[in-house]
A and B are shown apart, each in its own frame.
Chain A
Amino acid sequence: FLGAGGGNDIQWCFSQVKGAVDDDVAEADIISTVEFNHSGELLATGDKGGRVVIFQQEQENKTQSHSRGEYNVYSTFQSHEPEFDYLKSLEIEEKINKIRWLPQKNAAQFLLSTNDKTIKLWKISERDKRPEGYNLKEEDGRYRDPTTVTTLRVPVFRPMDLMVEASPRRIFANAHTYHINSISINSDYETYLSADDLRINLWHLEITDRSFNIVDIKPANMEELTEVITAAEFHPNSCSTFVYSSSKGTIRLCDMRASALCDRHSKLFEEPEDPSNRSFFSEIISSISDVKFSHSGRYMMTRDYLSVKIWDLNMENRPVETYQVHEYLRSKLCSLYENDCIFDKFECCWNGSDRQVEFLSLCTSDLPNIVMTGSYNNFFRMFDRNTKRDVTLEASRENNKPRTVLKPRKVCASGKRKKDEISVDSLDFNKKILHTAWHPKENIIAVATTNNLYIFQDKMN
């Protein structure tokens, strides 16, 4: 259990870092997605080169009570390849946009991975035995001359070195004209949605040749286009409910029971804008880059360029909480527009939680309630919804002594810079943390810098 109550701030320590040390980053090595599976035992990453790497947590060592199991490479495979659509003169990147795990049903693990156009269901299975003692085949595979066989034996399974195999079980293709930004598995564990800039499709995990379009915001005249879909997610408990966010900062909640095509939302979440504050940048920075339901499904969190907002599903006209991620960037928007950083898509995540306890607990404010998101200069931010305290931490190899608590960082927006503070102008905007993930049950977090994966965990006594 996560050590609830009493305002015990989590003390984060470096645990591991994966990836190359050199500064010269190959495009293919840029990490594009990070996701824990439902038990937290497996951690998957996807990169721009179309590859998936899965790490597995070691079984806890009873003698080493001061740390949890380390994550080591379990499997790696090429999920997507680059393609060229000659008909449309379109290059299709192999970059993995999202990975989503299915809950485990049997010995094998399943995940969905997607690039801009095609979603694939991968089966990851273990093999630790192999049959030996065939009558007609030698151990090396050569066939024996049947006339030389004088006795019969029964082949048996013998142990072998563990082999982890990944195989594509389903390919869901040709359903998206625009670029897929999200996939989300339904709580029925049978269907999932995929969203591109203008449309959302519903699939059945077993059926690849058919998909239902459930949202279509493409205008009849493309010149009237004002808004695109930026993210979508199914509700964690209600299998007919999903939300999608837009480039204009709105979130629409739809109920699939209302109609086959959910173009009319059931709820529209939008914070009214102060017209006196409107500028050229307003719409761009209001674009929502990520939307995530809380585990209970009562709240959802959105990330726009400068802030994280928590919405109560029962209140559409404004968020219940807003947290500033890096407000000091508001006076740098001109240069951030020029270097394209203003279009960076940051993700956000909730802390893991024990869902059962959350339901049973009469006073949910005792439960740890923390949200995390990335920023620049390899900084990432955490906001504690209970204490209203926030912290800025850094993913850097300089802090890589295990069990050393990470030192909070501070950015100096203006005026005199204190010792240990970093001025806004010294921030490295090439070092962005776009993808982070929180273990579903423990205080372990995975933070992806451009090409490295950091794992941090809370200080255990």
Chain B
Amino acid sequence: MAAPLGTGGFTEETGQEKQDTQEKDKAIPPERAEEAKLKAKYPNLGQKPGGSDFLMKRLQKGQKYFDSGDYNMAKAKMKNKQLPSAGPDKNLVTGDHIPTPQDLPQRKSSLVTSKLAG
């Protein structure tokens, strides 16, 4: 519980800076102090933290970006051109490359036995 300023024995003007700081910390709940820290770092942080943006992100977990529409459109456009293949150096892939299902990182199931059973 924060003690209101002006009560207790610390408000005497003794010039002790340390006690003044302690008084200030008592007045600001730790959560608010942390909030101020966060807002100082990220001034554009949304006003409604528990609101839609945050929850929508939670609901969208697992979203990958292979878009079959884009894939087929690009495939139709590139019909007559040489298609750049994925090649070993995937880092060079940019907008010209059409992602294929094969290029998506395949999540293989664990064929290895759990180490808990070891």
Interface residues in A271-289 by Cβ distance below 8 A to B read 276-277, 279-284, 287
A427 CB within 8 Å of chain B: no
Closest to A280 in B: B35
List 25 A–B pairs whose Cβ atoms lie within 8 Å, in order of A's numbering: A18-B116, A29-B115, A29-B116, A31-B116, A50-B109, A50-B110, A53-B116, A76-B114, A82-B107, A90-B62, A90-B63, A91-B107, A94-B110, A116-B62, A179-B59, A223-B52, A226-B55, A227-B55, A228-B55, A228-B59, A280-B35, A284-B49, A284-B54, A331-B33, A331-B34
Determine if A19 and B116 form an interchain contact, defined as CB atoms under 8 angstroms apart.
yes
Q: Contact check, B115 vs A332: say whether CB atoms are below 8 A apart.
A: no
Within 8 A of B (CB), among A45-62: 45, 47, 49-51, 53
| Contact residues, B73-118 vs A (CB, 8 A) | 101, 104, 107-110, 112-118
Which residue of chain A lies nearest to B39 when distances are taken between CB atoms in the complex? A280
Q: How far is the CA of A276 from the CA of B4 in the complex (A)?
A: 12
Besides A86-B101, A226-B51, A283-B50, 15 more A-B contacts (Cβ < 8 Å) are A29-B115, A53-B116, A53-B117, A90-B62, A91-B64, A179-B62, A222-B56, A225-B59, A227-B55, A280-B49, A330-B30, A332-B34, A333-B38, A334-B35, A451-B115
Docked CA distance A226–B55 (Å): 7
**Which 6 A-B pairs give the minimum distances between C-beta atoms?**
A283-B50, A82-B107, A49-B110, A331-B30, A333-B34, A279-B31
**Contacting residues, chain B, for A223 (C-beta < 8 A):** 52
Q: Which residues of A contact B11 (CB under 8 A)?
A: none
Is B31 a contact partner of A277 (Cβ separation < 8 A)? yes
Q: On chain A, which size bracket covers the interface?
A: 35 or more
Q: Which residues of A contact B115 (CB under 8 A)?
A: 19-20, 29, 451
Identify which of A82, A222, A332 contacts B108 (C-beta below 8 A). A82
Q: Is the CB of B35 within 8 A of A279?
A: yes
Distance in angstroms between the alpha carbons of A257 and B26 in the assembled complex = 51
Number of interface residues of B (CB under 8 A): 42
Q: A73-B117, A82-B109 are in contact. Are A279 and B56 (CB under 8 A)?
A: no
Closest residue of B by beta carbon distance from A88: B63
For A225-246 the 0/1 string (1 means CB < 8 A from B) is: 1111000000000000000000
B-contacting residues, A68-105, CB 8 Å: 73, 76, 78, 81-82, 84, 86, 89-94
- Chain B residues with CB under 8 A of A197: 58-59
**CB-defined interface of A428-461 with B at 8 Å, one 1/0 digit per residue?**
0000000000000000000000011100000000
State whether B52 touches A225 (Cβ < 8 A). Answer: yes
Nearest Cβ on chain A to B62's Cβ, whole angstroms = 5
Residues of chain A lying within 8 A (CB to CB) of residue B62: 90-93, 116, 179
In the complex, which residues of chain B have a beta carbon less than 8 angstroms from the beta carbon of A330? 30-31, 34
Most buried by A among B30, B38, B64, B116: B116
- How many angstroms from the CA of A279 to the CA of B38 in the assembled complex? 11
Looking at the assembled complex, report how far the CB atom of B66 sits from the nearest CB atom of chain A, in whole angstroms. 6
| Complex CA distance for A29 and B59, rounded to whole angstroms | 25
Q: How far is the CA of A321 from the CA of B104 in the complex (A)?
A: 50
- Within B31-57, the residues touching A (CB, 8 Å) are 31-35, 37-39, 41, 45, 49-52, 54-56
Specify which of B56, B63, B107, B112 lies most central, judged by the most chain A CB atoms within 10 Å of its CB: B107
Check B56 against A76 for contact (C-beta < 8 Å). no
Assess the A247–B55 pair: CB atoms within 8 A. Answer: yes
Chain B residues with Cβ below 8 Å from A222 are 52, 56
Cα of A219 to Cα of B11 in the assembled complex, Å:
52
State whether A248 touches B50 (Cβ < 8 A): yes
Assess whether A280 is in contact with B38, with CB atoms less than 8 Å apart: yes
- Cβ of A108 within 8 Å of any chain B Cβ, yes or no, is no
Shortest distance in angstroms between A155's beta carbon and chain B's nearest beta carbon?
34
Given contacts A86-B68, A89-B63, A282-B31, contact A334 B38 (CB under 8 A): yes
Q: Is the CB of B31 within 8 A of A28?
A: no
Q: Are A281 and B52 neighbours in the complex by a CB distance under 8 Å?
A: no
Once the chains are docked, how many angstroms separate the CA of A277 from the CA of B66? 44
B61 within 8 A of partner (CB): yes
- Does B31 lie within 8 Å of A333, measured CB to CB? yes
